[in-house]
Structure 1
């Protein structure tokens, strides 16, 4: 397990964060670096990663940030990313699998099959390859913690989101499977389900309008989440205060899982029409 070292239990540890160049991954990497962690962020854009590493490093001298250009859907890339993260201290202590996305915003009767495949590959296969190769390093080190990032779309239907919700539901089950298998080697595997969280990717929603109003109406703690909300739980799940927690899928969503998913009708009806949203396809 990640053992107590200093005041926070994470200082000087080595953690890999996939999708660390932006969004939730960036938030997680920033919080970990502030705790004195040696963070390795990976992503597909070398310039974005380098800029992110500089910004995090300048504000968090206690830790350090390294980068590795890697596509989580490419097995050789993930082998290399894990090896580089472990090289920092001689072993890998934790992983946060943040890389994910969606190319399939459309009614189910009009989904693009190749976009569906790419989304499933990114979210499920990418998370699987991250767990597969990081778990090998963690087992060899005597244990550690893996945290995957899912979505409230995996538990509450998000109409017209296509492959995103089903693929994130696959991540949830993958986490539970890995936790069941790896517990014997002292490796914990848990999952965070964020609700609507303020990132550049969803700025069109969080900047205001009927979709945001619908989100807030269906969220008991009616505000937009911040990346620090997600990062705080990731830090806990990586650290020494969670050593008997594994296989858990934890919502960080202000309670939205108690109600329903968002209504994107105002955005999509002008594109597909009211009939299109209920499955009608014009010949």
Structure 2
């Protein structure tokens, strides 16, 4: 396939959380498909390493950049979007930055950690959408893809703010798709199941929690970043131009069953009574 035949030739994409995990997987797919890509994240060292990795697989002529940015800081988001636009008219965005610092029963949640998680997952996605959608709308259109989670649609006990904030992301996507369609900006989200990344290594290396995940997954395997990147490439590419406002599961069918059982990790910390909401006096 020549460069002219690559599906994302001369597109410009911004990927937040692009230094590792799903974000890096999406950036890798985009540069092999011909897009110029800017990755953003909080670690300069991780971003530099990722740029070097992407350069090894990029199609000829592809430009790759990076910007240190915390998606909860609006000024940093705006600066990263401006840097991406230096590569050319922005046409594709993947908002992958996210995380969770609230594992545990609701009755024991740290309120500050709740706010931190909501700020990262929901407000961070909103800020990236706000500033990229402005450019794409003014430039004639584009595609925004938010990385959500199966936890947004299928309850995951003891995940605290994570699933709640990701459900907010999915609603934000539908709202934005409705508002921005008139400007040719498409907005969708991907809901991954358990994907093998360094963030979930404690689960994917084996044990009862992994066994339970596999029991909950009809296709019976852990996901790969390539599984998510394949849909992201489709959603920002030329074959999906009549798709918007969708929250799409890529989870091996996990959403058909139930959330995973993290009891093996959490019961030693909170106790069996704690996991069912009982709070000992003084806690």
TM-score by length of 1: 0.97
Q: What is the distance in 1 between the residues matched to 2:277 and 2:269?
A: 13
Q: What is the distance in 1 between the residues matched to 2:149 and 2:238?
A: 25
Q: What is the distance in 2 between the residues matched to 1:10 and 1:36?
A: 5
- Counterpart of 2:225 in structure 1 is 227
1:166 to 2:168 alignment? no
Q: What is the distance in 2 between the residues matched to 1:61 and 1:246?
A: 28
- Counterpart of 2:138 in structure 1 is 140
C-alpha displacement of 1:70:
0.7
Aligned residues: 278
Alignment of 1:37-76 (within 5 A): 37-62=35-60, 63-76=62-75
* TM-align CA RMSD: 0.9
Q: What is the distance in 1 between the residues matched to 2:7 and 2:194?
A: 30
Q: What is the distance in 2 between the residues matched to 1:9 and 1:259?
A: 35
Alignment of 1:92-171 (within 5 A): 92-171=90-169
Deviations 1:37-76 (A, max 9, x none): 1000001111110111011112324333200011111111
Q: What is the distance in 1 between the residues matched to 2:4 and 2:255?
A: 37
- Counterpart of 1:80 in structure 2 is 79
Q: What is the distance in 2 between the residues matched to 1:217 and 1:15?
A: 36
Q: What is the distance in 1 between the residues matched to 2:133 and 2:7?
A: 20
Are 1:36 and 1:64, in contact at CA under 8 Å, matched by a contact in 2? no
> Could you tell me which of 207, 210, 225 is aligned with 2:208?
210
C-alpha displacement of 1:78:
1.1
C-alpha displacement of 1:133:
0.3
Are 1:18 and 1:97, in contact at CA under 8 Å, matched by a contact in 2? yes
Is the partner of 1:240 in helix, strand or coil?
Answer: coil
Is the partner of 1:122 in helix, strand or coil?
Answer: helix
- Counterpart of 2:17 in structure 1 is 19
C-alpha displacement of 1:7:
1.7
5+ residue gaps, structure 1, are none
Q: What is the distance in 1 between the residues matched to 2:54 and 2:63?
A: 8
- Counterpart of 2:264 in structure 1 is 266
